Structure 1
Amino acid sequence: MKDLAYENFPFAPGVVQLNHASYGVTSRRVMCAAESARDRIEADPNIRLGAELVDLLRDRTARVAEAFALEPERITFCANATSAAAAVIASLPLTGADTVVVLDTEYSSIIRAWELAAARASANLVVVPVSLPFHSAEQLLDALDTAVPGSVRYLQMSLVSSSAAIRMPVERVAEWVRDRGGRLIVDAAHGPGHVPMTPSTWGAAAMFGTLHKWLPALRAVGLLWLAADLVDRVRPAEVSLTWDAPDLIERYSWPGTFDPVPRLTIDTALAQWAEWRARHLLAECEALADTGSRLLADCGAHPTAETAYLPPRLRAFVLEGVTVRQVKEATRAVPLRIWAGPGPRGECLLRFATHIYNDEPDLETLARTIKEVLTR
């Protein structure tokens, strides 16, 4: 699929890109659509950013809802997953008698946001450790039972954990939360365009995520889904001109002066993603991820999860006996773009993601580089 790289993406020559999961990668087609959209806005910004904008956002939101089988009246765009999480956490009621549960594999800023919210309300925050490698749903449920003997108000978990790249057993944890009288909040930053999202089936209270990680969209585009009883309650974290709007899409349509083009061109990104899927290119990416996993395991890297809990195109490994700095220095010299960072307990984690521009030699380059790091 290497011939698709420069045809579809503006990469610098020689860069091996295996980390679109961090920031996303915008395609040339979407960049072209964005240029046209910006020209249109600048031709008459008073109209394009005024009366016309909400209608256009409503249309694009409906397209996202259709693509991912979500209820259109329950979703809206927002700046990014962080802003959506801030809106949810700030809007939900929390008292000193409540317990909030988060997993230690959650995105660090989300954990920090819950720490601040719990401190303000004098609520109890419990951070539950997730052992690596992740073996089973029962392993996690046992950890939850041990750490949280009583009732729960909210539990925050990822659909796919970011650093450790674990496809979490959301359905099983949702049952556990309901049995404790609580509500589930799902971080789906790595959901849209990657793994199915069924928040209504899970009985979730809220789900937030991004559209620019796994779609070829401009950054940043966030997505917020709310249970029916929370549609009127959850307000943007920033108090803007539309903060009081009764309509969910309008409420999040104007977070102050901003660039709406990433949201307005999401239709182009969805269309291109659908074409890739129809041509089975994304299925080929999944096979490449399996190849990369096998090659890294042969080098002595340890997968963060058993096969049943691996995301289709995102994989992570524990690298023993080396530092994050060593991994970053070695991969940058190639140049090879991956993510490396500390795990929940200070482990050295390496994560890669496969896309339509990758081929097997990219994964062989990664494995060769990591083998050299591990055997120094």
Structure 2
Amino acid sequence: MATASKEKVNPSDGTVDRYVAGEHMDTDDLKIHRWGDPNETDLGPAFHRRFRPGQVLYGSRRTYLRKVAVADFDGVCANTTFVVQTKDPAQLLPEFLPFVMSAEPFHAFAIAESKGSVNPYVNWSDIERYEFNLPPLDEQKRISDLLWAVELHHRSLTSFHAALLAGMRLFLRERFESVAGGAVRIVDLTSEVVGGVWGLPEGESEVDVLALGPRVYAGGATRLSATGSPTRSISRKQAERRAIQTGDIVLERSGGSPEQPVGRVVIADEDLPACIPTDFQRLIRPDRKAVEPLYLFWKLRSDWLDGATRDYSKRTTNIANLSVPAYLERSLRVPSRAEQLRLVGDADALERTLADISTELASVARLRAGLLTAFFGGN
């Protein structure tokens, strides 16, 4: 029902101006968001497979990464990326094929057929043996129309979320740059800056608490949640200084990646269980007499969004370490309390909108997964 195209192209002959490698394809994402320019790099002999709009690209290396994408431009890829198309559109609709290859049974089959341990791969001769129930053409069209509608809605929401996040980044930068007020060192706006601890296994010291890990920053979170954090045991003296209170800011001291700078922050709301920062974090306790905690939080959040933390971090292997003392020596203009609250209110309103979009994105993703299971089966 499907075949792998063998059409070749010389990437340096000027007939294609984009190449797609494995790192340009994302897990469980049918759209190609990134690509490279073949004129700017030596691609090597493996990059000779031409693809055209509507064809399906499938990453045959490390099939557990589930990289299936539909091309919407001409380009070239390596021979380890299969360029898949239907043999006869009168039997298998081209728009139906991407969802066949996105369904869980297909991925399970490809993973089971993969060879090698360090960099497992699958051959096209294995993939083409995959069998599935093929509905009539009108049913294929009905299913594919529904799934593409869900797919395009998810893409639209994703684009809106990205645009709103970019707008929020600009809003925060401009508001903090335009406020009137005296310049104060950030460290002078705090009552304490405390290092975290990992502690001992549960029950081995005086106080059991939840130890906050990297998950508190996941998904661009701004409010602190201790859900899923492990329980650790610390002394009462350690707990007295480190127990998170409402309005505390937890700063990421170590972490990040080449694409994501270290220095993420979350702020604690009310009704948190007993929890503490861990070694790679710093607890920043704002001095409420000097600043609104959320005003300071949004300043630190804005700086991270703008990448300001890169100037205060050093990288060891793949981990960046933030020089917290130097970072907090920077100055911040502190306007009147009323102006601080106005900025916080506007930022919180934008944040709620972002959260609503994220919730809808998650719902659409669940719908898409449920429809794929309903139409093509699950594990």
- In which range does the TM-score fall when normalised by the shorter chain? under 0.3
- Greater share of residues in helix: 1
Instruction: Determine which structure has more spread, i.e. the larger CA radius of gyration.
Output: 2
Which of the two has greater strand per residue?
2
